[in-house]
Structure 1
Amino acid sequence: MALKPLGFYQRLQQLTLPAQQAFMAALCERQLPNYALYAQTTGCGDTHALKAVLDLVWEQLSVRGASIDFARQAEKLVECEPPADDDSFGARRALDVVVSLFSLLDTLRGEAPEAVLDVSRTSRAGVRAFIELTEGEEDAQRLALLIRDHPLTDDENGFQDAVLDAVSQPLNKALLKDVRRLGKNDGVSNLGLSLE
């Protein structure tokens, strides 16, 4: 009897912790332009601090025995959050990046078994919200089809599949570099936005 292939989320959960962390870091990397655009247009937030925390995560993954105080990094992240009273679309997508990075830091500081699923779902939810915002479809059924068949949904699914395939290989410095490059996605975010 042939075994049914594992679903995406099952495969994610079966990864080693460092592979899950690399997956999350790549997704954070890809969401960064959303944060940077928000910071640039509103003057709120600190893209440099956010990038610095993410750089340390990559360092932790690629340098054996790197000793980084991730509790301190989590404190720095709090300062990067958009103002609580800003409920704009840009603020919510900027917060997605911060929350995803928090989830990733949680795994570096101890137990957070659901973190990898949360980060994956947060990125997908941001894409859905962006399509809803830009396409403005009232009919729920039509909207669901629109989201399912949208190029950004395809792109997001393809991206997450590619990262999952990459981190399913034995991790080494060269592979981590490739995964990070994949995450940077030539400066284009999961919403198809860039600072250019």
Structure 2
Amino acid sequence: MWSLIFRRKNKDSIESSNVMSFQKDTKEAEIEKISTILKEVFSHTSKEIVILCVGSDRSTGDALGPMVGTMLKEKNIPLPVYGTLEQPVHALNLKKVIKDIHNTYEEPFIFGIDACLGDAGKIGTVFIKEGAFIPGNAVNNVLPSVGHYHLKAIVNYLDPISPVQSLNSTRLYTVKILAEIVTEIITKALNDLQNL
């Protein structure tokens, strides 16, 4: 089972907490719901939207961000995308990439994408949240917080003793399916925006 969750800080927003669970037969309907929410998020900013996909292709679980970045670039979305399998954004270059984004775009609206760890029963959950996120937090490699909104997907369970091992032992199939879902959500939201 996969699930999608949307959370906003502002109680006056559309929905303060919207949990969506789906089996394969309802996947498209749930992707439609969350892409509609994302479309609204994107439509309420006049700033240049930049997609920042964080992660490393050297760890299966952490490859979600670069995989999504690559898929978005292959779909030729009309937004700048940072972080792909070819040029990943990770712990060693994140600060430089954030600086480059701010030097290239005036007050950009950064939408972050990252993998995360969670409860075993929540693997496959995708959530969108308002505000910045802190890459590397689960593996105690705290990096600068970044983003105005972010999307995360729980790729594996959080082993408190060895979180890095949890990321490294993540099934590639799980990451691939989640990357496809995230790519579809973003692509659909952008297509719907263009058709307004």
Higher relative contact order (Cα pairs below 8 Å, separated by 6+ residues): 1
Which structure's CA Rg is the greater one? Answer: 1
* Structure with the higher helix share, 1 or 2: 1
